[in-house]
Structure 1
Amino acid sequence: PLGSAMVNLGQESAFYDKQNKEKIYGAVYHRWETIQHHSGEIQEYEISKTILSADVFISVPKMKIHKKVGVTLNAKGLVGIATNKNLIVHYTLGTPEEGGDQFPDGLLTSTEKKIIKFERWCYDTFLAKRSVWFELIHRFIYGFLYLKIAKPLGLNVPEEKRLLDAGNWHGNDSAWRMCVDLMKIIHFADANGKLHDTLQRRMFSVVDGIIGGENVGPLVPDPKPVGILIGGENLLAVDLVATRLMGFDPMKIKQFSYILSDVNSYGIKSIDDIEILSYFEDFKGCLKDKTNRFFDFRPHPGWIGHIEI
């Protein structure tokens, strides 16, 4: 209701020193908009002024897996405060050898890599124009030439590899940065989007783990009956505890390890600053327990073997 405010993090953005910004990809096809707002000293997000004007921010995320950043929870859930999702960097085109994080190195055959690059070229050339005529051309190329002719001839990328497309794997070096930036904004940006050194509002979070989500999250996860609610006044602390109870090592998830090392104070500087209250004794010491998998969530296929305890 109050409109939006542009928040420029500048050098304080986790994207400030990221290389190959000309390859970054946002939420939709017109990449030029994403690049325009993440270049040099300009590291901008369009944020709801209703949120920024609030004295108290209450977050109620689901306890589930996320394909780009490992887990959803509070940090990733902050995408909801952005009014233009295309200013949020999701991944970087290419493999790590090419300066990107779209796919792991060595996953695709040379033919599969050409197919993926051709698809992205079509997106940039036709769909990014936001023109009906260019969209019709794309429909002909993709819907007829590719789906009807090329794919039946075996020129396709297997579905198990497609699952990792668009940075859906543990090597995504882009998406975790937007989690860090959005956490900085919700904590330190005032009603007009100006950053301060002190917290600008109170926080409260309740993670809904009654029925969680595992495997191919966040959009089509398998249901995970857990029967737990996790609440607290510190978004980061709640995320760390929830992540550990999911069976993962929070320090293997980049947004959490980065925020804990940030010069800004988010209320805690290490897991030792977190006090856990629970009727279950093993939950109280979960952050220091190095063996228990607790609820044993299954990660996204692109994250298996990289974040589990």
Structure 2
Amino acid sequence: MNNVSVHINNKTMYPDCPPYSPSEEYPEFIFKREDVVSENNPVYHAVRDMLKNLGLDEENYGTPKWNPFCELINKGDTVLLKPNFVYHDNAGDPDIQSLVTHGAVIRPIIDYVLLALQGTGKIIIADAPQANADFETIVERNGVKQLVDYYNSKNVMIELIDLRKNAYVGGFDTGLRVDLKGDPRGYVLCNLEDKSMLQDVANPDRLYGADYDRNFIVKQHTNGHRYLFSRSVLDADVVISIPKLKTHRKAGVTINSKNMVGANGDKNFLAHYRVGSPADGGDEFADDVGLLGRLHYKWRRFAMDNILIKNTKTSRYQYFLMNVPFGIIHRLYRAITGRDYVMGNGDWHGNDTVWRMCLDLNRILLFADSKGVIHKEPQRKYFCVVDGVVAGEENGPLEPTPKHAGLIAGGNNPFFVDFVCAHLIGFDPYKIPVIYNAMKLDGFCYDEQDIRAYCEKNGASVDWRSVNLHFKPQANWKGYIER
């Protein structure tokens, strides 16, 4: 049996209309004939084909008995689907196909989960987008709200949850942090202690999270390493990761390992970088940033630590007025150098912090029970389906350039899938810390030779190692990550 399956077809495009029903009456299809639509839906077929090529329930394929998730999901299970809902527009463009997981990819997964549950259990779709994102706009634009409404009309109740405990309404620098409803089941404080990848990191007093209060993140990673995990995630028997295939400013790529950032309810528990350059003991930007860049950086750091941290309307106005000349400096720096180190934020290939945080979250997902206690054995099943139909390259994860790759990938080991996908898009997995270090991590250590991948491209079986989709990396990874 294969542990990774890849379906690539340059004719695969998203269908236009929710609820993204299949255009063919497959033998195992759980709904009635009238739910099959005339609009062509190659995405549904691609997901189905990917599952078939994994060898799932192989003996029943092509019959009404085919149940690809029969070994993954038991009757009565709670199954949580974890897509990537990071933000509600792409550089002001409401077309977010390259930014977030599309509802057309989620649709067949739900159908096959329902098939396995046989009228029992529970299905949850949940994510914690970026703190300044509009969740309702995201799920409206990617068709997921309409998809959930469709199932509810069929008396199939599916929960759709924004897992964030708080958010910046109106933006990070202009809006104020407010509390949200959050996970209706609450949160679990998980302490990885010495099992954290941040345990022996140098200069932990320089850690920066996702908020202006650095004292908070440093405290969470002093005398232990704490994360605020969604209880809905930890209560699940099965988690199916459904990431968008994209480049990433801090991590190089965002696929499955990075996708688990959205399982944590409060973003400021998440260490993203250490302030300053390596010469200063940080990993926020390279040592070779010039005078103009450092000038802007010093202002930005001062503003974050002394003005924006106050979280008041007055502080936001003060920042807005004082930032005008520095915004001009920033634009000049980018025009002259073509780089964006000026903003710091750990957005480069020398970031040695963010991958540690991502692998910590994956350790919790796999080995923490519903109370947050870490065990030696996995506590839930972890499957993945990658949405790379329209993927994102260059300035990902928030402003990616759309890249039509026609790719759907999946498997029962998301770390294997990350490795294969990174290779397929033309990157060297050994140059991506969040992938390479997962190979060595106690509890899910592996070797490239353990990967058994089936790759189908435009209808023909090919060696996955021969494929190169030539994605363009984010600017600060260019010349480093390509293979």
Query: Superposed, which structure 2 residues align to 1:44-123 within 5 Å?
Result: 44-109=226-291, 111-123=292-304
Query: Superposed, which structure 2 residues align to 1:274-289 within 5 Å?
Result: 274-280=451-457, 285-286=463-464, 289=465
Aligned to 1:192: 371
For 1:121, give the aligned amino acid: F
Range that drifts further, 133-142 or 88-97 = 133-142
Contact kept? 1:163, 1:301, Cα under 8 Å: no
TM-score normalised to structure 1 length: 0.89
The 3 A distance-change label for structure 1 pair 190 and 105 is same
The 3 A distance-change label for structure 1 pair 249 and 127 is same
Query: Superposed, which structure 2 residues align to 1:246-285 within 5 Å?
Result: 246-264=425-443, 266=444, 269-280=446-457, 285=463
Tell me, in whole angstroms, the C-alpha distance in 2 between the residues paired with 1:181 and 1:259.
10
Range that drifts further, 131-140 or 172-181 = 131-140
1:38 pairs, out of 211, 217, 221, with 221
Tell me, in whole angstroms, the C-alpha distance in 2 between the residues paired with 1:170 and 1:119.
21
CA deviation after TM superposition for structure 1 residue 146, in Å: 4.6
1:234 pairs, out of 401, 413, 435, with 413
CA deviation after TM superposition for structure 1 residue 25, in Å: 1.2
Range that drifts further, 161-170 or 178-187 = 161-170
2:468 pairs, out of 288, 291, 294, with 294
For 1:235, give the aligned amino acid: P
Aligned to 1:177: 356
For 1:75, give the aligned amino acid: S
- SS, match of residue 402 in structure 2: strand
Tell me, in whole angstroms, the C-alpha distance in 2 between the residues paired with 1:134 and 1:170.
33
Aligned to 1:204: 383
Q: Between Structure 1 and Structure 2, whose CA radius of gyration is higher? A: 2
For 2:422, give the aligned amino acid: T
Structure 2 gaps of 5+ residues are: 1-183
For 1:166, give the aligned amino acid: N
Aligned to 1:141: 322
- Higher relative contact order at CA 8 Å, sep ≥6: structure 1 or structure 2? 1
Tell me, in whole angstroms, the C-alpha distance in 2 between the residues paired with 1:115 and 1:278.
47
Identity of aligned residues (%): 35
For 2:277, give the aligned amino acid: T
CA deviation after TM superposition for structure 1 residue 238, in Å: 1.1
* Alignment RMSD (CA, Å): 2.2
The 3 A distance-change label for structure 1 pair 102 and 192 is same
Aligned to 1:243: 422
Contact kept? 1:115, 1:156, Cα under 8 Å: no
Contact kept? 2:355, 2:434, Cα under 8 Å: yes
Structure 1 gaps of 5+ residues are: none
When the two structures are aligned, how many residues end up with a matched partner?
296
CA deviation after TM superposition for structure 1 residue 136, in Å: 3.3
Contact kept? 1:7, 1:47, Cα under 8 Å: yes
CA deviation after TM superposition for structure 1 residue 27, in Å: 1.0
CA deviation after TM superposition for structure 1 residue 79, in Å: 0.6
CA deviation after TM superposition for structure 1 residue 33, in Å: 1.3
Does 2:196 match 1:17? no
Contact kept? 2:249, 2:476, Cα under 8 Å: yes
Aligned to 1:303: 477
Aligned to 2:346: 167
CA deviation after TM superposition for structure 1 residue 272, in Å: 1.1
CA deviation after TM superposition for structure 1 residue 135, in Å: 3.1
For 2:196, give the aligned amino acid: S
Contact kept? 1:115, 1:157, Cα under 8 Å: no
